[in-house]
Structure formats: structure tokens, C-alpha cells
Amino acid sequence: MNPILVALDVSTAAAALALADGLRGTVGGYKIGSQLFTAEGPSIVRTLTERGDRVFLDLKFHDIPNTVAGAIESAGQLGAWMMNVHASGGAAMMRAAVEAADRATTPGSPRPLVIAVTVLTSMSAEALASVGIDRAPIEQVVHLAGMAKESGMDGVVASPLETAAIRAACGPDFVIVTPGIRGGSAEQAGGRQDQARTMTPADAIRAGASYLVIGRPITGAADPRSAAEDIGRDVLAASIQH
């Protein structure tokens, strides 16, 4: 599967569908986050999945286990291919999310992937310290990834700088989704350095990423489809080398 997941960080269904229609066939799926979901609700997820698109529902659930389980089950029933929770919600919450995903699976359909957010890519060591976490980002990420794996999660969301360490700790089949993709073709396409821990698309693949979440370097480009194709070529070459 094409590992590029385009972040549809727009405020209307019309804008999201225009991007999706223009990019279909050049990317592996679409990420729907809080901005679009809050504006348009579940219908945008249904619309894309009914068109055959893979949707990563990036709502980062973080609540008591029963509440998160209900949200995961509802997301699965929408047809989301992948969804996430915050690993910092704890092992019981993550186990509840996995069990809910199992319940949401319909006969003949694959079980949705449930992954855990480790440390947001915007957070530096100083930012972690400000909220009482004394570990370096990579130590906190690997700790949370190990907890996620033990809880039955399919994988994690982490910055590309931690991908190799997660891969070493959690094995070859653990899903690693990496935002914070900048530089290379992504930089040429209009990426901005607003995240603390970033990497080029090709380097992220070589480090062991399973999927790359890419937003503005594609959606903000003058020609989004051409930008996606350029990044796709870089990623394919890196995959072959890797």
C-alpha cells in the first residue's frame, strides 16, 4: 500500500472532497482530524469510505476506558480504517479501545487499526519538562510504545526521529505512523518548520515508518497532485533501498 496519508486539515467537506478527488490514486489514504470532524461531523468519514478511500480518524481519544471504548466502536462503525487514542491514557484505556475495535468489526471486513499517540511532534524536551515529564522525548516515546504494544494496540503515532528506536523495541510488524514530515520534496512543496521533531519523507521510510501523514507540503502546494507524485517517488525509492 502507498504509505502517504494526506491530512485533510480544512474546515469544509467541499474543500476536503476536492482535495481527495484530486489526489485519489496518488496517495494511500486521508487523515481526518479535529478541525474537519468538528466542522462536518461523521458524514465526511462516511462519504470518503463509501468512495473506497482509507480514512485515518485522528481524534486522539483520551478519557476513561468505557468512554473511549464507545468512541472507538462508533468510529469503527463509520468505516474508519485506522483511529487513535493517547497512550498516556494508560493500559486499561488502550485495552478497552482494542476490545471495542474488535466489536466494531463487521463480517467480511478487516478489523480497524487502533494506534496510540506517544508524544506530539510539537513537543520538545523543554515542553515535556514543563508538564512534569523528565524523560527525553525519545525515552518517553519508547516507553509509551512498549506500553501500547503490551496493551494490544496495532501501533503508535510518533515523530520520525523516534521511529528506529520504536522499531527496534517493538518489532517489524508494529505499525508506526509518522507526522512531522518536512524537507526534500515535501519542503519544496511548501512545508513549514512548525514542528519540533521532523524528517524528510525518504528518511522517515528508511528509519522504519509504516505510514507518513503529510499535510501542507501537499495540500498547500500550487499543484497538490504533482506534489504528491514527487513525494511518492522519493518514498518509493527509499522503500526499495530500505
- Active-site annotation holder among 24, 60, 111, 143: 60
- Three-state SS annotation for 13-71: HHHHHHHHHHHECCECEEEECHHHHHHHCHHHHHHHHHCCCCEEEEEEECCCHHHHHHH
Q: Which CATH architecture has domain 4-241?
A: Alpha-Beta Barrel (3.20)
pLDDT at 187: 56
Write down the pLDDT at residue 184: 55
For residue 115, list its beta bridge partners.
Answer: 84, 155
Length of the chain: 242
**C-alpha dihedral sign at 71, 114, 194, 181:** negative
Query: Mind listing the pLDDT tens digit of every residue in the chain (242 residues)?
Result: 899 999 999 999 999 999 999 999 999 999 999 999 999 999 999 999 999 999 999 999 999 999 999 999 999 999 999 999 999 999 999 999 999 999 988 777 889 999 999 999 889 999 999 999 999 999 999 999 999 999 999 999 999 899 999 999 999 999 999 997 875 555 544 444 455 556 889 999 999 999 999 999 999 999 999 999 999 999 999 888 76
Catalytic, 31? Answer no
Of 114, 119, 120, 123, nearest to 57 by C-alpha is 114
pLDDT value for 189: 46
Question: Interior CA angle at 112 toward 241 and 101, to 5°?
Answer: 140
CA–CA dist 86, 88 (Å, integer): 5
The C-alpha cell at 183 is: 524537507
On the 0-12 / 13-18 / 19+ scale of CB atoms within 10 A, 242 is exposed
Tell me, what amino acid is at 207?
A: A
> Do 168 and 196 form a contact (C-beta atoms < 8 A)?
no
Contact residues for 183 (Cβ-Cβ < 8 A; gap 6+):
191, 198, 199, 200, 203
**Per-residue pLDDT, 196:** 54
Percentages helix, strand, coil for the chain, rounded to the nearest 5?
A: 50, 15, 35
> In what helix (H) or strand (E) does residue 168 lie, and over which residues does it extend?
helix 163-170
Domain borders along the chain are 4-241
Largest CA distance in the chain: 47
Return the pLDDT at 185. 55
The pTM for the full model equals 0.92
